Amino acid sequence: MTALELHPQTKAFLARTLGHFIAGQVAPSQGDKTSPVHDPGRGIELLRVPLGTQADVDRAVAAARAAFDTGPWRGMKPNMRTRVIWKFADLIEEHTQVLAELESINNGMPIGAAKIGHIGTSVDLLRYAAGWPTKLTGRTIPVSAPGEWHAYTLRDPVGVVAQIVPWNGPLMMAAWKLAPALASGCTIVLKPAEQTPLSAIYLAELAIEAGIPEGVFNVVLGGAEVGAALSAHPDVDKIAFTGSTAVGRAIAGAAAQANFTRVTRELGGKSPVIVFPDADLSAAIPAIAAGIFSGAGQICTAGSRLYVHEKAFDRVLEGVAEAAGKLSVGYGLDPATQMGPLISAAHLQRVAGMTENAVREGASVVTGAEAIEGGGYFYKPTILASLTPDSTIVREEVFGPVLSALRFNDDDLDAIAAEANGSAYGLAASIFTRDFSLAHRMAARVRAGTIGINRHFVGDSALPFGGFRQSGWGREKGEDMFNAYLETKAIAAPL
Ligand code: NAD
């Protein structure tokens, strides 16, 4: 098998007639509309999948409801749920090559990043979650009313969970939501993004093979209409959403009307990277470059606002521009590729348009700022300078490989923090300095859900992840991920 040739199982999967996955099997759509699935690295249509309808959503929610109300999952002994989730993780790991190829051809991501950053971390999170069913316990509570009491809490799974995920990490975004739902005994209707449905279908089949009962994990394919139907469904108990802030707002509105449905949201970001003059630049520069150019910048935590002390500004910019120039941009399946394409022609146009607008507003181009001609939707790693905190490109999420560089000359931490916090978002941030006291004082002032010191990405299965302000509500990963999947029940009896 050469590097660009697909695994036989990947080819076989792509040759199949794909559809929704409901009550343990691939289910044909109730409608006749289909939507295209593209390979963004070649700019071609790979295949078409059914576009879901309200009837498909109803069927999937009914299957999840039946599995929750009567099925064996939440009633299964916790140590057995542990084994099944662990087996699911093992199967995903065994199928890494095929899943990584599906992620790469469907999203464009480099195959190495797919294997380690997306599938490897998803397997790790499922194993982390597999340890939890035996530990999701209630408490005994001392009651102050007269007499003797026995009072305690139980933690019940919230019920049927709709999970709506974006295209930038199709499998990983699903795993972040599947892990707490499965461990807590919920049942699931997953809606992948319309652009990237492949790995979700594959995952649902592996779940059955692992022993997750039919109806526990359902998949409905489709776009905004299917997402809206799920958000407004009266029989959905909780929605877990990752995507844009605008859609997060629409979902919250629909959910409130439907059933006051609980909603957790992981939304957009415009994450600051703060570099003090004493930072170890030989380590900081590659970390800053990785922070914005990984995933071609299509990562919610991308470090897209760079604040450098003026004493180090020129050296940092020069270093990050050099790193950008050396990045191998290309087709995801080529093992030499470090940065893949953008997801679609429309998104490429949007990213290019935002950069052109920044230049019209007075930004200078340090490097990049143009599309790469060829078959796919490639855009050069880009750095813009001569910006102010009010520049549109500094305020709005680009979701592409575009870094906005600004300098500061203040030594007052509150003033630096005010600038870093001057965004509607609050998802991630990073601080580069050799002075650990300074780093922690700064971290206390930055309003973001995830803060890295001398590293931009700091993900781990045990670390909670989520946003402040318009970056979302609720936390995924870590123990905190269970808060939104469990209801607390108080039980008290006078003795
Ligand atoms: P999007 O909001 O357009 O789509 C996300 C999902 O929502 C898709 O499945 C889509 O089909 C569905 N959807 C669209 N309209 C809907 C509606 N009206 N009701 C219900 N569902 C609807 O986002 P996108 O363009 O696919 O992804 C990019 C965005 O996602 C960026 O803003 C990025 O920051 C964000 N994101 C956030 C995180 C995080 O963890 N915070 C992670 C990845 C991506």
Measured from the Cα of 266, ligand 1's closest atom is 41
| Structural element, H or E, at residue 404 | strand 402-408
Phi, psi of 73 (to 5 degrees): -70, -55
Amino acid code (one letter) for 132: W
Q: Is 322 marked active-site?
A: no
In this predicted model, what pLDDT tens digit does every residue of 206-263 receive, in sequence order? 999 999 999 999 999 999 999 999 999 999 999 999 999 999 999 999 999 998 999 9
What value, to the nearest 5°, has the Cα angle with vertex 119 and ends 117 and 249?
80
Give yes or no for a contact between 202 and 102, defined as CB atoms under 8 angstroms apart: yes
SS3 of residue 298 by DSSP: coil
Q: Is 186 marked active-site?
A: no
Cα–Cα distance, 420 to 272 (Å, whole number): 6
What would the mean pLDDT of 289-315 be, rounded to a whole number? 97
The answer to whether the CB of 426 is under 6 A from ligand 1 is no
Cα–Cα distance, 3 to 471 (Å, whole number): 38
Quote the pTM value.
0.96
Substitution candidate for ligand 1 out of 121, 257, 300, 480 with most atoms within 8 A of CB: 300
What would the mean pLDDT of 468-481 be, rounded to a whole number? 96
Q: Which of 217, 199, 261 is nearest to 236 (CA)?
A: 261
- Marked catalytic residue, from 214, 300, 397, 476: 300
DSSP β-ladder status, 382-385 and 262-266: unpaired
Measured from the Cα of 300, ligand 1's closest atom is 34
In this predicted model, what pLDDT tens digit does every residue of 90-126 receive, in sequence order? 999 999 999 999 999 999 999 999 999 999 999 999 9
Structure tokens at 342: 């953008």
Question: How does residue 457 score in pLDDT terms, banded at 50, 70 and 90?
Answer: confident
Q: Is the pLDDT of residue 418 over 70?
A: yes
What value, to the nearest 5°, has the Cα angle with vertex 14 and ends 11 and 16?
110
What local confidence, expressed as pLDDT, does residue 287 receive? 98
Measured from the Cα of 167, ligand 1's closest atom is 26
DSSP β-ladder status, 428-432 and 272-275: parallel
What value, to the nearest 5°, has the Cα angle with vertex 177 and ends 130 and 262?
120
Ligand 1 centre from 132 Cα, in Å?
Answer: 28
Ligand 1 centre from 164 Cα, in Å?
Answer: 8
Give yes or no for a contact between 179 and 207, defined as CB atoms under 8 angstroms apart: no
The answer to whether the CB of 399 is under 6 A from ligand 1 is yes
> Could you tell me which residues are beta bridge partners of residue 408?
309
Helix-helix angle 96-107:198-210, to 10 degrees: 160
Cα–Cα distance, 12 to 9 (Å, whole number): 5
What local confidence, expressed as pLDDT, does residue 2 receive? 53
Q: How far is CA 474 from CA 200, 461, 477, 479, 489, in A?
A: 23, 16, 10, 12, 20
Measured from the Cα of 243, ligand 1's closest atom is 30
Residue given tokens 């203040």 in the structure block:
410
Q: Is the pLDDT of residue 3 over 80?
A: no
The answer to whether the CB of 338 is under 6 A from ligand 1 is no
What would the mean pLDDT of 160-177 be, rounded to a whole number? 98
Substitution candidate for ligand 1 out of 37, 51, 168 with most atoms within 8 A of CB: 168
Ligand 1 centre from 319 Cα, in Å?
Answer: 33
Residue given tokens 């859900």 in the structure block:
449
Q: What are the residue ranges of helices labelled H in 329-464?
A: 345-360, 392-395, 413-420, 436-445
